[in-house]
Amino acid sequence: MTKKTNTVSLVLQIIVAGILVYPAYMKLSSHPDEVDLFTSLKMEPLGRYLVGFAEMAAVILVLIPGTVVAGALLAACIMTAAILGHVFSFGFAGALGMFAMLAFVCLGASLGILYLRRENIPGLR
């Protein structure tokens, strides 16, 4: 990777980590809004904890140089599921629209990382 590509990847990694750390904290700290959301999905509490730990794992992985690709892939999968949840269940009204927008930004940043680091993805060489 060139220095410019590495810098762009680092900025995208910080964006992904910055976006994911807050919802992970909210889920793992049993914030009432998250409890209500996962109760409505009939996934409370196990689903909330699994998603929260997956988000926190993505934050950690995307910030460690040797695991950036794994973290970006995990973040992209989580954000794809979040976007599908907004499309088919939650909707986009009010604050949910902001969370959906952040999911799109995080997905785009994750895909950007994967593109910039595509030579590090096993099977694509």
pLDDT 10s digits, 36-94:
989 988 999 999 999 999 999 999 999 999 999 999 999 999 999 999 988 888 777 77
Q: What is the mean pLDDT of residues 3-13?
A: 95
Entry pTM: 0.92
Q: How far is CA 90 from CA 22, 44, 45, in A?
A: 19, 16, 18
Residue 111 pLDDT grade (very low, low, confident, very high; cuts 50, 70, 90): very high
Chain-wide mean pLDDT for the chain?
Answer: 92
Q: What local confidence, expressed as pLDDT, does residue 25 receive?
A: 96
Contact assessment for residue 121 and residue 69, using Cβ atoms and an 8 Å cutoff = yes
| Contacts by residues 32-38 (CB-CB < 8 Å, ≥ 24 positions apart) | 37/90
Q: How confident is the model at residue 125 (pLDDT cuts 50, 70, 90)?
A: low
pLDDT at 98: 84
> How distant, in Å, are the alpha carbons of 24, 53, 119 from that of 76?
15, 15, 18
- How many Cα neighbours within 13 Å face the side chain of 10? 8
% of the chain beyond a pLDDT of 90: 74
User: Which residue carries 């009432």 as its tokens?
Assistant: 32
What is d(CA 80, CA 87) in angstroms, rounded to the nearest whole number? 11
CB 15, CB 112: distance < 8 Å? no
- pLDDT for 86: 85
